[in-house]
Amino acid sequence: MTASAEPEIVSSQKCFGGTQSVYRHHSTETGTSMRFGVFLPPQASAGPVPALYYLAGLTCTEENFIVKAGAQRVAAELGIALIAPDTSPRGLAYPGEDDAYDFGTGAGFYVDATEAPWRVGYRMASYIARELPALINAHLPIDPARTGIFGHSMGGHGALTLALKYPDLYKSVSAFAPIVAPMRCPWGEKALGLYLGPDRAAWQAYDATALVEARGWAGPPILIDQGTADPFLERELKPDLLREACAARGVALTLRLQDGYDHSYFFIATFMADHIRHHARYL
């Protein structure tokens, strides 16, 4: 993919010796203006650094991670760039786009939609895996050969599915409270049905458990943290389904059940350093 024009800086602040910036650009995949956050560690002033993409969950923008996750300190220590895209296109004005928190605006589910009208614009899988990295690699001091991906909830689903589908792009993957089997939970069944249509065979490309069963994963261990007090644990997240699939395929999975933690950014911030250090070992 040819990189588009240099992105516009919306804001930039010095942070732990590096810079925390927000950029805006026009996306050809979504047909809209898209924003993304980038933390560049101080080491980036001397040359390209590895990058870790963070995919946020339902209702979020790029700002949630930047402000709430507490990730910049350890990223600066380890010399890793943090990239935080938005969770959907915004402003396409499709009927129903803003009617629910779990579909449409803020809920792109990191798929390339095939159903009308969503197939025009709701192409977050291609945006995250292709268009955004091409843009960033062309204009920022990032080493494209050292890229990892992680995320939370819907974003954990996105991180897992993209890593499993594109192991050439991502050297490491982890997640906080991910939706590991969207084909078997209400959030996923709603989103995949509306974005991809009724043929459940088409949904398998966006289901981490199904992808592990079909493809495995030859990369380093997958790290997942899951709070035991998460209100969505049994109905929506179902980490045991992924654990069973990984065991059957011989995929290395570290699934840590964190006693008393919920689904919030307090949980994410508590274990963020562990995840960044996990990725740093392989990037």
Annotated active-site positions, please? 153, 230, 263
Distances (CA, A) of 25 to 1, 54, 135, 199: 16, 18, 9, 34
DSSP letter for 41, please: P
Six token digits for residue 69 = 């996750």
Tokens of 177: 């409270």
Residue whose entry in the numeric block shows the structure tokens 């996750």: 69
The arrangement of strands across the sheet holding 142-152 comes to: 8-15, 18-26, 33-40, 81-85, 49-55, 142-152, 172-176, 222-227, 253-258
Tokens representing residue 209 in the block: 């458990």
Looking up tokens 């946020």 gives 56
Question: Within a 13 Å sphere around the CA of 264, how many CA atoms are in the beta-carbon half?
Answer: 5
CB environment 17-41: b (16+ within 10 A), e (fewer): ebbbbbbebebebbeeebbbbbbbb
